Amino acid sequence: MSEETRELSEGHAEEDLMAAIRENIKACMQCGTCTGSCGSAYAMDFTPRQMWRMVQLGMVDEIFNSRTFSLCSSCYYCTLRCPRGLPLTESIHGLKQLAVAKGVAEKKGARFYQTFLDTVRRYGRVREMELMARYFIAMKSPVLPLSFTPLGMKLMMKGKVSPEMPQFFRPGKLDGIFRKVKELEARS
């Protein structure tokens, strides 16, 4: 993870973001439509409906200790169906951003996002094989790559990706944009 990307997430005004999410969810009437629409709800420790109540009540620690928001696949079913028309998926993105900013995001997910964005900053585009290589290095996990191996091998056999080594130490294509975003977010 580079300095730019790390600081980018730390630059958030955390409390403002949490307040904005609370404001978004203010009108929730606890009907449970979101939970009933969610394909991941079966694996969550709190259902989406319960989590929105926790947001209303400002139970910040409980929210970030739960795995609920990290299991969201951004399918937008809840957003589509919420009878109050609340921006639910967007609010979950807000919670994910907060988790990264607070440093409480689950290592696996957060590292993946950071590694991804770092590749974007450096090259402008993502080369998938290189992204995976960087991710494994960032995770410092010798076992993790195995869980991708069938896919990785298949992709290489099919010639979809070239097994290039990552190039470190190069100024990034989108350095300017990332720097400016960080600057503006620190100010807000």
Partner 1 sequence: MKYFYYSGCSLEGTALEYDISTRAVMQALGVELIELDDWTCCGASAAEAVSELLSMVLPARNLALAARMDQDCDFVIPCSACYLNLRKVDEHLDRDEGLREKINAVLQEEELSYKGGIKSRHLLDVLATDIGAEMIKAKVNRKLSGLRIAPYYGCQALRPYGGYDDPEEPRCMEPLIEALGAEVHPWPMGAKCCGAGLMTTKKEIALELTGELLKAAKGADCIATVCPMCQMNLDSYQKKVSQVKGEDLRISVLYLPQLIGMAFGLNAEALKLDLNMAYTDSLRTKLKN
Angle (CA) 135 184 24, round 5° = 85
What count of Cα atoms within 13 Å lies in the side-chain half-sphere of residue 121?
Answer: 25
Coil, strand or helix: which one is 105?
coil
Asked if residues 15 and 34 have their Cβ atoms less than 8 Å apart, the reply is: no
Q: Does 110 bind ligand SF4 (CB under 6 A)?
A: no
Q: Closest distance between partner 1 and the C-beta of residue 62, in Å?
A: 20
Out of partner 1, ligand SF4, none, what residue 184 binds, judged by CB under 5 to 8 A for its kind, is partner 1
Q: Closest distance between partner 1 and the C-beta of residue 61, in Å?
A: 20
Q: Closest distance between ligand SF4 and the C-beta of residue 52, in Å?
A: 5
Out of ligand SF4, partner 1, none, what residue 21 binds, judged by CB under 5 to 8 A for its kind, is none
Q: Does 84 bind ligand SF4 (CB under 6 A)?
A: yes
Q: Name the residue among 101, 109, 170, 96 with its Cα closest to residue 139.
A: 109
Q: Which residues contact 158 (CB under 8 A, 6 or more apart)?
A: none
Q: In Å, how far from its chain's centre is CA 31?
A: 27
Q: Does 77 bind ligand SF4 (CB under 6 A)?
A: yes
Angle (CA) 90 96 98, round 5° = 105
Q: Which residues contact 1 (CB under 8 A, 6 or more apart)?
A: 111, 114, 115, 118, 138
Smaller CB separation from ligand SF4, 31 or 184: 31
Site string for partner 1, 125-164 (x = CB under 8 A): xxxxx-----------------x--xx--xx--xxxx---
Binding residues for partner 1, rule: CB under 8 A, are 5, 8-9, 12, 39-40, 43, 70-71, 73-77, 79-80, 89, 93-94, 96-97, 100, 106, 108-109, 112-114, 116-117, 120, 124-129, 147, 150-151, 154-155, 158-161, 173-174, 176-181, 184-185
